[in-house]
Amino acid sequence: MSLSKSVKVMLLAGISGCFAVLGIFFVISTSNSTKIPVSVNSSVVASPVAATTAAFSPGTTAASSVTPRTTTAPAATTVVSPVTSQPIKTVLPVNPTAQPTPQIPGLQQTWLNGLPVTIYVPETARNRQSAQLLIALHGMSGQGGAICNGLISFAQQNGVILLAPTFNYSPNWQDPQTIAEEDVALSNTLNLMVSELEPMAHTHLKNRLMFYGFSRGAQLAHRYALLFPEKTLAVAVLSGGSYTLPYRSLDAKGQQPLPFPFGVSDLINYNAKPFNQASFTKVNFQVEVGEGDNDNSQVSRAWDSYIGKNRLERAQNFYQALRQMGLNAQFVAFPGASHQETLAMRESALKFFRDLLVA
């Protein structure tokens, strides 16, 4: 009986001890739950923004001391870089319409005969009974607006109207047949553009046109003069890649006919009328090229046996052909220039036009 009582006492004591231990554990857990765990790098992660900066800024390690940034933007026109924490100024216009883009009176982008063109009609042209039209023709990858820009001052000073179309020339520039068909089509397009331009210009256009053409545009310009010499006053050709000789044949007996676009023996097949040599001899020409524009690989080989192997040779030979026919023609080769429209070339061509206008 005494043994049984001893066992009971021991069991009660054990149960009491367990409750005591559980109580102590509960008190400790409750106390710790109100504390924030401390990280070894607590100085870095104290701010989420600072932690991002430490991770991405060059030369910064996890243990670096980072100054937290303010979350308030310094100004309405300033933002903060998430990397450098330096303010980046962004200029916002107070009133976008306060300072409009300067416009040149009389200059506009429009459409003629379904194609984009840049035209310039100076006030000095509107005050005349008739005005001279200068057509500017860009190169292979150029645009009308770009080639027009360099001619505006001349046009304003001399009362000349500018027309600068943008053409999508065929990339098949090495094929003579493609060139022949395209230049005939574009020449007829230019005639339609001129007829549409006259009422827009509010003045009468003189019957004979001036042309300023660079590279591919030079080819089109001089071929227009061959197709419509009665409508052409003057042509400045700069750095043309190929030329059409004003010859029906290479020999005096006519046994070696030169078909278009190498010559004009069969021009009637393209223009419904034969080559008008009498009218062509009244056209004035300025032939220009850079002395360094002599890379044989930049021009079509189809013209080699007719007029030379590069732009420099071809320009010289075309000029000689014009002189042999009795045309008023000038030739200028520019030192230091390759295949480019330089300021000196442009000024020389404009002087050529100016001299004709005052003659």
Q: What are the pLDDT tens digits along the chain (359 aa)?
A: 444 544 454 555 555 554 554 454 444 444 444 333 333 333 333 333 233 323 323 333 333 333 333 333 333 333 333 333 333 232 333 333 333 345 899 999 999 999 999 999 999 898 778 999 999 999 999 999 999 999 999 999 999 999 999 999 999 999 999 999 999 999 999 999 999 999 999 899 999 999 999 999 999 999 999 999 999 999 999 999 999 999 999 887 778 899 999 999 999 999 999 999 999 999 999 999 999 999 999 999 999 999 999 999 999 999 999 999 999 999 999 999 999 999 999 999 999 999 999 98
Q: Does the residue 167 lie in any domain?
A: yes
Q: Does the residue 236 lie in any domain?
A: yes
Q: How many domains does the chain have?
A: 1
The residue segments making up the domain with residue 285 are 107-358
Q: Does the residue 214 lie in any domain?
A: yes
Q: Does the residue 13 lie in any domain?
A: no
10 Å CB burial of residue 330 (0-12, 13-18, 19+) is middle
Q: Does the residue 26 lie in any domain?
A: no
Cβ pair 239, 138 in contact under 8 A: no
Q: Which secondary structure element, helix H or strand E, spans residue 137, and what is its range? A: strand 130-137
The pTM assigned to this predicted structure is: 0.72
CATH code at position 253:
3.40.50.1820
H-state helical runs in the chain: 2-32, 42-45, 48-56, 123-126, 144-149, 152-158, 176-201, 216-227, 268-271, 277-280, 304-307, 311-324, 343-358
Q: Does the residue 206 lie in any domain?
A: yes
